[in-house]
């Protein structure tokens, strides 16, 4: 029986990236802290005072967007909020992944907990309850322009709070929201002034996907170092170019860490030692081997820049209008903090990273398969070349994915289509950048997995030379997972999927770290 996951307590400060992952992927429940509930109550009092005032206040007693000029009478304001959520829940296309929707809900709850959105405590509690009971609204692929927040995705989540729309329960079954709420012993809310707007006006979807991508890419880039080390070794490359004094000549921190990983991974390799003597006639290795730390390191530094932006966004309160407190009287002000440009830019930047790291990985793999460049390995690593094709088509699969990744690297954030009768005349397309980045991360996972699979086969073919303890651990991991060593052709797709699973789960990195300690 699995142990229960400890709850994430959402307070007035930002949730952490690790808490995001726990809620999104581990199903952690959430609870609101006492401080958060106090802040929510204080913010609500400000909104209620404005709702009672004769002067119109945007989002509280007026319409929205281009319709903001209409003053809404008190008796129609509940309908105003309900209509807002219903009309904005206009997503279309495939359902997004449940982990994305869970992080979307968590980040919106974190913003509500600041007390600057003006919702009631009961509304925030219900959102927390949905996460805890693993009631996940169905959110669709298309609908967000990444400005005024991720409006359509968040509206589908808000719809569930009023007992409408479709959700998945803890078992993944689709059912109407009101039935799921009743089964969990929960009551839908009737949205009051400002609440509908507060629930849908944030960058939570694109930020959530950024946080998950950073988590995945940190593991993937360590795995890329493992794959590169296996390729350097299997292609009879040298480890001398990874020396610390050479790397220090160009002091990028990611480069230094990647080079240190490669040095540690190749330590004790009899394969590398076999051609280290004065009789070796190769002056230098190909760029895809020699420059691995420069490419992987630049990727690492880019990921850390993206993580810095994500951290700032986690600390932000994104809503419009927003409750402002300070030295003077509390007030509600319109603002532009919902614009997704800061997040959209780094999402696009990471898609470039994924494409380039995959590209260099594919080039290393291809060298194994060409007998004129593999230094003594059989063509395509085939058992009986001509009868067998070996890993020929595995490289085709890599090439196809890399080609896709190059297209996905075209930035979404340079596009803008005006909306809302030109009131919202410049948008970020950050949601689109996030959606394509998820495809990019998946593609990079598959490309690196094929390199690991191919390099492991090559290392076996180098016998009786013995690989390093670290790379030997990866070969052993594959063999224990059911991927056989060199031999006549067999169905390759299942072996690729095994390798993909080992890369995605972090098992490849874990197997190495069990030998050499924690990678940088």
Buried b (16+ CB within 10 A) or exposed e, 466-479: bbbebbbbbbebbe
Comparing 417 with 507, the larger pLDDT belongs to: 507
Whole-model pTM: value is: 0.95
The H or E element containing residue 332 is strand 331-333
Region of 185 (left: φ > 0; alpha: ψ -120 to 50; beta: rest) is: left
Which CATH number does the domain housing residue 384 bear? 1.20.200.10
Average pLDDT, the chain: 94
| pLDDT on residue 221 | 98
Region of 126 (left: φ > 0; alpha: ψ -120 to 50; beta: rest) is: alpha
For a pLDDT cut of 90, what percent of the chain falls above it?
82
- Domain end among 169, 202, 235: 202
Does any domain span residue 2? no
For a pLDDT cut of 70, what percent of the chain falls above it?
97
| pLDDT on residue 93 | 97
| pLDDT on residue 283 | 64
Does any domain span residue 1? no
Reported confidence tier of residue 2, pLDDT bands at 50, 70, 90: low
| pLDDT on residue 54 | 81
Q: In angstroms, rounded to a whole number, what is the distance separating the alpha carbons of residues 316 and 493?
A: 44
Per-residue pLDDT of 20-50, as tens digits, reads: 999 999 999 999 999 999 999 999 999 898 8
Which CATH number does the domain housing residue 39 bear? 1.10.275.10
Same domain, 402 and 376: yes
Q: At what angle do helices 507-516 and 469-480 cross, to 10 degrees?
A: 140
Same domain, 166 and 295: no
Number of domains in the chain: 2
Per-residue pLDDT of 207-222, as tens digits, reads: 999 999 999 999 999 9
Does any domain span residue 23? yes
Query: Does residue 17 contact residue 209 with C-beta atoms inside 8 Å?
Result: no
Q: Give the active site residues.
A: 58
DSSP string, 2-61: PPPPPPEEE-SSPPPHHHHHHHHHH---EEE-HHHHHHHHHHHHHHHHHHHSSS--TTTT
Same domain, 340 and 472: yes
- Domain end among 156, 174, 202: 202
| pLDDT on residue 77 | 82
| pLDDT on residue 310 | 98
pLDDT at 1 over 60: no
- Domain end among 185, 202, 219: 202
Same domain, 463 and 347: yes
| pLDDT on residue 57 | 76
Query: Does residue 289 contact residue 237 with C-beta atoms inside 8 Å?
Result: yes
Same domain, 320 and 392: yes
Comparing 424 with 396, the larger pLDDT belongs to: 396
Range of the domain at 420: 209-516
Per-residue pLDDT of 113-129, as tens digits, reads: 999 999 999 999 999 99
- 213-222, 325-334, 462-471: range with lowest mean pLDDT: 325-334
Does any domain span residue 136? yes
Same domain, 326 and 415: yes
């Amino acid at each position: 029986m699995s142990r229960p996951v400890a709850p994430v307590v959402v307070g007035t400060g930002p949730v952490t990236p690790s808490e995001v992952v726990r809620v999104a992927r581990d199903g952690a429940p959430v609870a609101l802290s006492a401080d958060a509930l106090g802040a929510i109550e204080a913010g609500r009092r400000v909104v209620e005072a404005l709702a009672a005032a004769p002067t119109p206040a945007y989002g509280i007693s007026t319409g929205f967007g281009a319709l903001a000029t209409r003053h809404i009478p008190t008796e129609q304001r509940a309908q105003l909020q309900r209509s807002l959520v219903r009309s904005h829940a206009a997503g279309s296309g495939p359902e997004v992944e449940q982990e994305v929707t869970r992080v979307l809900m968590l980040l919106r709850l974190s913003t509500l907990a600041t007390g600057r959105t003006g919702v009631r405590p009961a509304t925030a509690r219900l959102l927390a309850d949905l996460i805890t009971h693993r009631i996940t609204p169905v959110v669709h692929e298309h609908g967000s322009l990444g400005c005024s927040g991720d409006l359509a995705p968040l509206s589908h989540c808000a719809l569930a709070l009023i007992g409408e729309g479709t959700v998945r329960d803890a078992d993944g079954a689709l059912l109407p929201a009101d039935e799921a709420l009743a089964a969990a012993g929960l009551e839908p809310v009737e949205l009051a002034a400002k609440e509908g707007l507060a629930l849908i006006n944030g960058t939570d979807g694109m930020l959530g996907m950024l946080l998950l991508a950073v988590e995945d890419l940190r593991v993937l880039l360590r795995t890329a170092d493992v794959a590169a080390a296996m390729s350097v070794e299997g292609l009879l490359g040298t480890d001398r170019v990874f020396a610390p004094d050479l790397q220090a000549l160009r002091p990028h921190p990611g480069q230094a860490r990647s080079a240190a990983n490669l040095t540690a991974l190749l330590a004790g390799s009899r394969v590398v030692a076999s051609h280290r003597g004065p009789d070796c006639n190769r002056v230098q290795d190909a760029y895809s081997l020699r420059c691995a730390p420069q490419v992987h390191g630049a990727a690492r530094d880019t990921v850390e820049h993206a993580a810095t932006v994500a951290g700032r966004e986690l600390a932000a309160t994104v809503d419009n209008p927003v409750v402002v407190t300070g030295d003077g009287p509390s007030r509600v002000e319109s603002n532009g903090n919902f614009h997704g440009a800061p997040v959209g830019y780094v999402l696009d930047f990471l898609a470039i990273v994924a494409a380039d790291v995959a590209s260099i990985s594919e080039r290393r793999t291809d060298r194994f398969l060409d007998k004129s460049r593999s230094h003594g390995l059989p063509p395509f690593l085939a058992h009986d070349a001509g009868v067998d094709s070996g890993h020929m088509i595995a490289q085709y699969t890599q090439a196809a994915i890399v080609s896709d990744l190059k297209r996905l690297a075209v930035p979404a954030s340079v596009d803008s289509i005006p909306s809302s009768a030109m009131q919202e005349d410049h948008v970020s397309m950050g949601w689109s950048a996030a959606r394509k980045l998820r495809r990019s991360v998946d593609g990079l996972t598959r490309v690196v997995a094929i390199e690991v699979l191919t390099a492991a086969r090559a290392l076996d073919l180098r016998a009786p030379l013995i690989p390093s303890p670290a790379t030997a651990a990866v070969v052993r991991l594959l063999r224990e997972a059911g991927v056989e060593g060199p031999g006549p052709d067999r169905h390759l797709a299942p072996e690729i999927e095994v390798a993909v699973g080992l890369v995605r789960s972090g098992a490849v990195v874990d197997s190495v770290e069990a030998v050499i300690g924690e990678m940088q």
